[in-house]
Structure 1
Amino acid sequence: MSASSPAKSERPLSPHLQVYKLIPTMAMSIVHRITGGALYVGTLLFAWWLIAAASGPDYFATVNGFLGSWFGLLVLFGFTWALIHHMLGGLRHFVWDLGYLFEKHTATKLAWATLAGSITLTLVIWIAGAALQ
């Protein structure tokens, strides 16, 4: 080998996403980050609703009309799910920070429980809310 040509390695310089197999804990970590971003949008909608309430009955009726439409309800349902999922993911990370439930099979079950729990709690909240109306 000459001094002017560096040695070539057959290995990749750094692994990328296509190298890894998607596992439940990885997927829930990604979804946790996405729901965190979605919560910014939901919080803006909540602030918009509060500002409308403070602005007077006409503007409040307009905002309520939008949020009460099928699209608005779909967005609010998604916001509810994102909020619950992010909370459960945060609790999962808190338990890990305390040093518990790190075993592979337990962490995988906890990831699936986060998903199932977020869907279940979102449905319970929306069904209970509909029953109260």
Structure 2
Amino acid sequence: MGKTVKKQRPVNLDLQTIQFPVTAIASILHRVSGVIMFIAIGILLWILGLSLSSAEGYIQATAIMDSFIVKFIMWGILTALAYHAIGGIRHMLMDFGYLDETLAVGKLSANVTFVITIVLSILAGVLVW
């Protein structure tokens, strides 16, 4: 019979005191944007199918797209798509050796990804509205 050893480790459960590095935030957001896009595929295919079903379906799809909440959702989907695409390009540049895999380059490329996404998000907002 083996003895169990209880490890005394410090546990920090106060989530307000935990600060993630920018590289971790970029990684988490990349995963979140992928999930958003996966869910968005169903919404986008439904609207596309409705618009292509008939002339009346097209009118219904147009009416749906005129709603503020739907425009806001479309803006969110486009923003998630932009972030995921830019983050994917960032990862490919690292994988192919065009960007060094150092902490400094990781931080800089994550910040550049955020800035490019903000610009593309603003452009998506102009496109949607």
Q: How far off is 1:10 after superposition?
A: 2.4
Match of 2:123 in 1: 124
Percent pairwise identity: 22
Q: Deviations over 1:85-105 (max 9, x none)?
A: 000010111111123232212
Distance of 1:7 and 1:40 partners within structure 2:
44
Of stretches 47-56 and 23-32 in structure 1, the one that deviates more from structure 2 is 47-56
TM-score by length of 1: 0.79
Match of 1:94 in 2: 92
Quick check: which has more Rg, 1 or 2?
A: 1
TM-align CA RMSD: 2.9
1:1-133 map, 5 Å: 5-11=3-9, 21-99=19-97, 100-127=99-126, 129=127
Q: Deviations over 1:11-62 (max 9, x none)?
A: 48xxx9x7x7401110011010110011022222221122112211222222
2:56 alignment partner AA: D
* Structure 1: segments with no counterpart, 5+ residues: none
* Structure 2: segments with no counterpart, 5+ residues: none
2:108 alignment partner AA: K
Matched residue SS, 1:124: helix
Change (3 A) 1:7 1:117: same
Distance of 2:102 and 2:67 partners within structure 1:
45
Distance of 1:53 and 1:6 partners within structure 2:
64
Change (3 A) 1:59 1:102: same
TM-score by length of 2: 0.81
